[in-house]
Amino acid sequence: MLNSSLRIESAKTSKTSEKTSKAGRKQTGFALIDLLIVVIIIGIISSISLFNILSSKRSANAAATVQAMRTISTSQSNYSSTTGNGEYASPSDLFREQFIDSSLAGACVPTPPNVGQVPKLGYVYFFDVRSASEADNATANYSISARPIFGGALGRGGDRSYFIDGSGVIRFNESPVAPFADETSHPLNR
């Protein structure tokens, strides 16, 4: 009697449902509610991991943008000391003289002719080049602002905006929207 009551109790708590076919054989399988619970759990885990993947992608975009800013700064210094005779270059000049490649040139504003404008890893680079002027006692300088793009189903390209000028110091602003990083923003790695 005790043995049969244990079998009945264990059959009630089993995760599978049993049916008897017309031939008298028992069929086992998962109940619909069991499958729904599994699908819901997989959905929750997927949504958590998607958030982490997107966050990692934005961090990688930021690291690539900092490297691109260093590349632009080095290119400006090289251009100024060679071809530019003390002046700094526009994106068109840097691309024409092969200081930057087409993927970086395409992410610059203004974009060089014959290069399609395409953001580089979620960022667009805005150039401002000032020539030296004896009348104003102004020296040649440049400034570049890297700003993340927004849009699409996956959100924004980055979490920060970046700035660099003739000093070679990369600066950042924690906000990806205006006001963007400028010469008064926090220096990176200091």
pLDDT (tens digit per residue) in 36-63: 999 999 999 998 888 888 888 888 999 9
Cα–Cα nearest to 165, from 127, 110, 119: 127
> Tokens for 52?
């982490």
Q: Is residue 8 part of a domain?
A: no
pLDDT at 92: 93
On whether residue 23 sits in a domain, the answer given is: no
d(CA 60, CA 122): 10
pLDDT of residue 156: 77
Query: Is 26 inside any structural domain?
Result: no
Q: What band does 172 get if pLDDT is binned at 50, 70 and 90?
A: very high
Expressed as residue numbers, the domain containing 110 is 33-187
DSSP state of 162: E
Note whether 157 and 58 are within 8 A (CB).
Answer: yes
User: Is residue 13 situated within a structural domain?
Assistant: no
> What is residue 144's DSSP assignment?
E
Distance CA 67, CA 61 (A): 10
How many C-beta neighbours within 10 Å does residue 166 have? 16
Most confident option among 24-38, 62-76, 109-123: 62-76
115 within domain boundaries: yes
183 Rama sector, left if φ>0, alpha if ψ -120 to 50, beta otherwise: alpha
- Note whether residue 176 is domain-resident: yes
Is 25 part of any domain?
Answer: no
Q: Which residue has the higher pLDDT, 109 or 14?
A: 109
Name the domain count of the chain. Answer: 1
Burial 108-135 (b: 16+ CB within 10 A, else e): beebbeebeeebbbbbbbbbebbeeeee
Tell me if 121 is assigned to some domain: yes
| H or E element, residue 39 | helix 32-81
Angle at 70 between CA 132 and CA 78, to 5 degrees: 45
